[in-house]
Structure 1
Amino acid sequence: MKLLVYSAKDFEVPFLINANKNIHTVSYTKDALNAETAIQAVGYKAVSIFSGDDASSVVLEKLSDLGVRYISLRSAGYNNVHLRTAQKYGLKVANVPDYSPYSIAEHAVAQLLALNRKITLADRQVHSYNFLQNNLMGFDLNGKTVGIIGTGRIGSVMAKIMHGFGCRILANDLKPDYRLVPLYDLTYTSVDQICQESDIISLHIPLTQENFYLINKQKLALMKPGVILINTARGALVETKELIAALERNSIGGYCTDVYEKEKGSFFKDNSADGIKDGQLKKLLSFPNVLLTPHQGFITKEALTNIAEITFENLNSWEEGKPCKNELSLETINS
């Protein structure tokens, strides 16, 4: 099968080459998929895309007209794919649902520790030969209440880690995993109670129409003044405008994030020469109690190996006419 890999990153290409095992004819482009770059897929039966690619109705129609029949995502999230249109044109779509929950959960914890213990500030100071300890105070995680919204693969690992720190765990999920209750002394409750009682809140849910801007003005108003909010899931789970307002009022303690609601145009590229035009993102980055990383939670050797292998497992299933266990459809995601 001829495959075009969009948004190909230099660091992931070796993993993809190794996973392919010379079975498919693969080309790589650093360009993201959009209405203009879709034309590059001429002559390809399949494309592979990342979470920042545009697989909207218009783009999918173009891909179908060009003869593309398969779309293999290199991500768990698929909110960038208009599945209804994919089904309309007979495009088969599959994701990578379980590449490494540890990579994301561990990144969330790393961000929490770095922000809480002022690691970035301390590193910057000592590299300027300033060894004073002013403004470096944090707090113990032991004994704190951690609210975890979403206890699937990633959220359950987050619960395990925070339980290891000696934290009280509150959780919320549409489909609670009650096996976690005795394992981590976890209590399922409402999102509102999580907001009211938690010292730390971590988001681990996919983005849907129902939870768009889950963390909004009302939810932020419920939170403790010193709460640290962590988002390694999807940017639009948090209403950035209201988050900025809360940060300006000092009504929350800090924000750790690996994602942003409007990543297109700023993320996945080097903007150091020309800067960025997104005023809201600039404002967010101006706060000393905001730690933002460039959607890098998945970048571990283990995760990239699994992403590459599952990407080609999906393609192999389609090529061989076998059922693809990771195939997405309106029926499967709503079941």
Structure 2
Amino acid sequence: MTTADLARAEADAARAEAVLSRLQLLVTRKLDGLLQGDYVGLLPGPGSEAGESREYRPGDDVRRMDWPVTARTTLPHVRRTVADRELETWMAVDLSASLDFGTAAMLKRDLALAAATAMAHLTVRGGNRIGAVVGTGAGAVATEPGRLWRRRAAAPPEPEQQSTVRMPARPGRKEAQGLLRAIARTRIRPGRTDLGELIDMLNRPPRRRGVAVVISDFLSPVEGWSRPVRKLGVRHDVLAIEVVDPRELELPDVGVLTLADPETGALHEVQTADPALRARYAQAASNQRGEIARALRAAGAAHLRLRTDSDWLLDIVRFVAAQRHARTRGTTR
């Protein structure tokens, strides 16, 4: 490793540490106390321990009907269940080159780290364990990842490197902080992570029921990752966190832009002053996001979209509050 490489690695590590410290402070201030009260997970599922029965309400899952109590009282009842006391959470964090992009308050990779920090803060308590698998690109295509607005030529390809990193699940806040620090220091390499393979790593080896969180921009072809998400949802409560930048949804009128795909190195000149082109781009982006949402919904995954130009902490708070409200009404989605 050259002196320039060492200097860049040290600069990246210092930046990652600063970003993580700021995120942890924000998360602790805003999310502390959000889950006070009865023990529940981030995604309150049906659990495995039998609890009390209560009268049936519209919207309750009929599979949880308590037939003996219903027969005795002649009124429909459902059996409430208690969440497991020790919850195991695994995160699949996609750090492909497309995540090293942002045109608003932060890069998408920083928003992905923010989401991972919030998930760790909300789940690591009472002996819960949290682990992660991280995808860092294929490491074999030719362009340096960076902001979309930079005008740049393709760089020589990097040698093939390990594209996924597994971080074992361990209990405790100190271990969770170490895991987040390792994710923050993970270097994004050129290329596209096989999102389907990354998600499938959460199924191997088989684990007891828990929470699986997938953090990605989901820009990979839907057919490549939809089946692994469905398979994951058979055993676990799945939360899909979609990271989005506003420029991925619509183009501004700023004249001619030279755009580079950070995953393939392809360069394109785009005339953004053309209203028809901007309309086609917005329609294609809307169709793409709709297809992603439909695939996640069909897989039974809870879907949280975070944007680089919005208050991501407020979005997480609203999501968790909605999940708790759904739990009190007897539903889990």
**Length-normalised TM-score, structure 2:** 0.31
Greater RCO, 1 or 2 (C-alpha within 8 Å, sep 6+): 2
Which structure shows the higher strand fraction? 2
**Length-normalised TM-score, structure 1:** 0.31
